Amino acid sequence: MIVAATLALVAVTAQAGQEATRGSAGDFTLLRLQGAYIKWGAPRFGAGATVSYTLLTEPRRDPDAINCKTMTRLDGLLDRAGLDMATFTERLTSALALWQSAADITFVRAASPETSDIVVGAQAVPD
């Protein structure tokens, strides 16, 4: 699933990059969760952001998470997809670089899931 999501991210960000010059703030719908708008960085439209990410290295449980309350490493998922971790990491890095080139966002690798905005792993209990 995460491999497909990463590949979809590449396609979506490429399209977003092509459309970014034509769009304006009124062309987009902001994500709302539990009544609040969700945005990285400063809480105003048009302000860029620095977002941290990490790859999960051990099982993790977060009962407060909205999705993926229980996660695990990518190994099993990558095995089923026929990918090794080096290839996946290369593709993830490329997808994030493409996103950066299309939007006012910067991705940095975090030291741990506890300090990361995005945790990349596999959902241990699919829902």
Name the 3-class secondary structure at 92: helix
pLDDT of residue 27: 63
- At 65, is the pLDDT very low, low, confident or very high (cuts 50, 70, 90)? confident
Q: Which of 67, 68, 48, 49 is nearest to 59 (CA)?
A: 68
Interval 92-116 mean pLDDT: 93
Match 């241990």 to its residue by tokens: 124
Q: Are 54 and 73 in contact (CB under 8 A)?
A: no
Rounded Cα distance, 112 and 118, in Å: 10
Q: pTM of this prediction?
A: 0.67
Contacts of 54 (CB under 8 A, 6+ apart): 109, 110, 111, 112, 113, 115, 116, 118, 119, 120
- At 64, is the pLDDT very low, low, confident or very high (cuts 50, 70, 90)? confident
Interval 74-93 mean pLDDT: 94
pLDDT digits (tens, 9 = 90+) for 15-52: 444 444 334 455 667 778 788 777 788 777 788 899 99
Rounded Cα distance, 100 and 16, in Å: 11
The percentage of the chain sitting over the pLDDT mark of 90, rounded to a whole number, equals 44
Q: Which of 118, 125, 64, 124 is nearest to 96 (CA)?
A: 118
Q: Are 56 and 113 in contact (CB under 8 A)?
A: yes
The percentage of the chain sitting over the pLDDT mark of 70, rounded to a whole number, equals 77
Q: Which of 4, 16, 1 is nearest to 67 (CA)?
A: 1
